[in-house]
């Protein structure tokens, strides 16, 4: 019975989309429905997390076509926790959007598109089929394209164009990689591909598609040297949209990378380990340097997404149980913190009309509560104990020291310091210094009450603190999830009814 838990996080947003389209005339219905269905999805994802932790693997074959012929939905602990934390962000940002998204955007179906985005993200985490993953990516992308550019302002259209073109290229590479691997193995089921590669004496024939997928997922994750679309576009749409993009979209790319190299292309991992390691280091360094050179809150935060992606990929590149657990913990922490920071930047824009650090100031006096709410995620991102970011970085660095990856550890620590530098810069400029004079700070007319914007920020900040102080259950869960990732054989036997024959 509990297999049906797999369907709920996908079905609920889909039903929501249909119902909201039926009630498109009433803005109240749109708002209420958006919050209701994103919260229901969150509740369903918690149920899924609970069920998966009990059962290890939940597998469902769509239409009862046995794997590897049909499309499988699979949840292990890693995908369940990703669904849970991203649905959490979906619910939080859904409430925030009540007070930020204006009528014009609501009339252009903001909330149905928002639910399509959640639908696509959850589907991508739960599918066990490579081509189906491509379709989920497209579902997610088309919703994000429209959300990014629906305001029709110049910046949004420009940023949107860059975002759309580079992501389309990445999808094309994904499709080509999936096509080649199908031509060689005759299957698209991830477990089946993984099994065939493991049984093959020499798996080098899959290198081409593995590289195509690496580039494609790297592009979606915002890894060096494919990250240029991200800081060029993420600061243009409303903060609710940037926040949910920052929290979810790049992480789907990271998730796909993890899935590729712990399951699909597991035997090829030694070939790419060094590539991943150096890409991760360069991603961290370029991201943080880009952030240091900027003076606009949202641009700084966008570059920090890039640099933080580097840490997660570093965990994958180390590939020890501790490193993978640290990376999963890092993902959870990062999604919460980064979404929160973008939400705070939205409140700053609401109060000061801008989040350009040269134009804002004095928030420490005028809104001390906001300063406190910024402090928690910002210094968690910088890795200050006892906030969640400290434990994430600590575990990652410890795993690096254990395998003597000194260069990676050095850069990870150095980038941590520079992250702190950027966060202190925002703190000093936006909150500490006096409001600069002769700057027009008349904010735009607010859409809704401030409480809907602050409540999600408070909830996310409390989560960050709780993970910091009582992070042990989450870390133990991450360790169990990492153990599953390192044991692809159990994933394969959970999905496939019987071991298939080798046909390279």
Partner 1 sequence: MEPLIALLIGVLFAAGIYSLLRRSIVKLVIGVVLISQGANLLVFTSGGLLAGRPALVEAGATVPEAPFGDPLPQAMVLTAIVIGFGLTAFLLALVCRAHEAVGDDDINAFDNTDT
Q: Which of 45, 236, 340, 419 binds partner 1 (CB under 8 A)?
A: 236
**Choices 4-12, 113-121, 172-180, 312-320 (CB under 8 A): range interacting with partner 1:** 172-180
Nearest distance from residue 183's CB to partner 1, in Å?
A: 3
Q: Is 294 helix (H, G, I), strand (E, B) or coil?
A: coil
Nearest distance from residue 422's CB to partner 1, in Å?
A: 14
Nearest distance from residue 370's CB to partner 1, in Å?
A: 26
Eight-state DSSP code of residue 3: G
Q: Which of 55, 176, 200, 455 binds partner 1 (CB under 8 A)?
A: 176
d(CA 474, CA 405): 26
**Choices 102-110, 226-234, 238-246, 420-428 (CB under 8 A): range interacting with partner 1:** 226-234
Q: Is 127 helix (H, G, I), strand (E, B) or coil?
A: strand
Verify binding: residue 186, partner 1, rule CB under 8 A: yes
Select 186 or 504, whichever has its Cβ closest to partner 1.
Answer: 186
Verify binding: residue 131, partner 1, rule CB under 8 A: yes
Phi then psi for residue 242, to 5 deg, are -60, -40
Nearest distance from residue 224's CB to partner 1, in Å?
A: 14
Which contiguous run of DSSP H or E holds residue 74?
A: strand 72-75
Q: Which of 39, 233, 388, 422 binds partner 1 (CB under 8 A)?
A: 233
Contacts of 5-8 with C-beta under 8 Å, sequence gap 24+, read: 5/44, 5/47, 5/48, 5/51, 5/52, 5/58, 5/75, 6/48, 6/58, 6/60, 6/73, 6/75, 6/126, 7/60, 7/73, 8/41, 8/44, 8/45, 8/47, 8/48
d(CA 225, CA 219): 8
Q: Which of 175, 199, 465, 483 binds partner 1 (CB under 8 A)?
A: 175
**Choices 10-18, 96-104, 150-158, 440-448 (CB under 8 A): range interacting with partner 1:** 150-158
Nearest distance from residue 12's CB to partner 1, in Å?
A: 24
**Choices 168-176, 240-248, 263-271, 308-316 (CB under 8 A): range interacting with partner 1:** 168-176
Nearest distance from residue 189's CB to partner 1, in Å?
A: 12
**Choices 170-178, 189-197, 242-250, 437-445 (CB under 8 A): range interacting with partner 1:** 170-178
d(CA 148, CA 146): 5
CA torsion sign for 215, 219, 222, 225 is positive
* Contacting residues for 245 by C-beta, under 8 A, at least 6 apart: 144, 147, 148, 234, 237
Q: Which of 9, 222, 231, 400 binds partner 1 (CB under 8 A)?
A: 231
Of 221, 130, 124, the closest CA to residue 182 belongs to: 130
Verify binding: residue 301, partner 1, rule CB under 8 A: no
Nearest distance from residue 292's CB to partner 1, in Å?
A: 12
Q: Which of 31, 77, 220, 294 binds partner 1 (CB under 8 A)?
A: 294
Residues near partner 1 (CB under 8 A), total? 44
d(CA 207, CA 210): 5
Q: Is 356 helix (H, G, I), strand (E, B) or coil?
A: strand
- Are 260 and 214 a contacting pair, CB within 8 Å? yes
Of 94, 86, 96, the closest CA to residue 35 belongs to: 94
- Are 190 and 264 a contacting pair, CB within 8 Å? yes
Nearest distance from residue 371's CB to partner 1, in Å?
A: 27
Residues in 5-44 that interact with partner 1 by CB under 8 A: none
Select 72 or 149, whichever has its Cβ closest to partner 1.
Answer: 149
Q: Which of 3, 53, 57, 179 binds partner 1 (CB under 8 A)?
A: 179
Site string for partner 1, 95-124 (x = CB under 8 A): ------------------------------
Strands (E), 173-268: none
Q: And the tokens for 445? A: 């007319």
Nearest distance from residue 312's CB to partner 1, in Å?
A: 22
């Amino acid at each position: 019975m509990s297999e049906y838990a797999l369907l709920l996080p996908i079905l609920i947003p889909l039903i929501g989309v249909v119902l909201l389209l039926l009630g498109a005339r009433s803005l109240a219905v749109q708002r209420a429905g958006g919050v209701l269905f994103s919260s229901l999805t969150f509740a369903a994802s918690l149920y899924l997390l609970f069920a998966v932790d009990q059962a290890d693997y939940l597998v469902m074959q769509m239409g009862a076509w046995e794997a590897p012929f049909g499309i499988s939905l699979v949840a292990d602990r890693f995908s369940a926790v990703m669904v849970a934390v991203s649905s959490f962000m979906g619910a939080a940002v859904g409430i925030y959007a009540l007070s930020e998204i204006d009528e014009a955007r609501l009339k252009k179906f903001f909330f149905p598109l928002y639910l399509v985005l959640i639908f696509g993200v959850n589907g991508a985490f739960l599918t066990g089929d490579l081509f189906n993953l491509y379709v989920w990516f497209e579902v997610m992308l088309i919703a994000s394209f429209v959300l990014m550019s629906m305001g029709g302002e110049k910046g949004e259209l420009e940023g949107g164009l860059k975002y759309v073109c580079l992501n389309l290229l990445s999808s094309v590479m994904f499709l080509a990689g999936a096509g080649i691997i199908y031509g060689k193995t005759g299957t698209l089921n991830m477990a089946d591909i993984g099994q065939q590669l493991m049984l093959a004496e020499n798996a080098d024939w899959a290198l081409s598609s593995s590289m195509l997928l690496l580039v494609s997922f790297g592009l979606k994750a915002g890894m060096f040297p494919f990250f240029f679309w991200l800081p060029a576009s993420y600061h243009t749409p409303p903060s609710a949209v940037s926040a949910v993009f920052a929290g979810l979209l790049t992480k789907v790319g990271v998730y796909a990378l993890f899935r590729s190299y712990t399951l699909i292309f597991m035997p090829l991992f030694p070939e790419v380990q060094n590539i991943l390691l150096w890409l991760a280091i360069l991603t961290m360094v370029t991201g943080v340097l880009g952030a240091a050179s900027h003076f606009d809150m949202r641009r700084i935060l966008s570059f920090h997404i890039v640099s933080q992606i580097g840490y997660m990929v570093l965990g994958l590149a180390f590939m020890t149980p501790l490193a993978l657990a640290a990376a999963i913990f890092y993902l959870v922490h990062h999604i919460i913190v980064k979404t929160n920071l973008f939400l705070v930047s939205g409140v700053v824009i609401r109060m000061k009309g801008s989040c350009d650090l040269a134009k804002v100031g004095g928030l420490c006096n005028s809104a001390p509560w906001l300063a406190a709410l910024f402090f928690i995620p910002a210094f968690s991102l910088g890795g200050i104990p006892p906030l969640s970011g400290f434990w994430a970085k600590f575990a990652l660095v410890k795993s690096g020291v254990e395998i003597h990856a000194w260069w990676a550890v050095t850069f990870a620590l150095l980038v941590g310091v520079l992250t702190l530098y950027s966060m202190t810069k925002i703190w000093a400029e936006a909150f500490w210094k006096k409001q600069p004079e002769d700057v027009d700070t008349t904010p735009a007319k607010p859409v809704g009450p401030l409480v809907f914007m602050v409540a999600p920020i408070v909830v996310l900040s409390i989560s960050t603190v709780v993970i910091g102080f009582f992070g042990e259950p989450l870390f133990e869960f991450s360790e169990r999830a990492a153990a599953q990732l390192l044991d692809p054989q159990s994933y394969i036997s959970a999905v496939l009814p019987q071991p298939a024959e080798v046909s390279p």
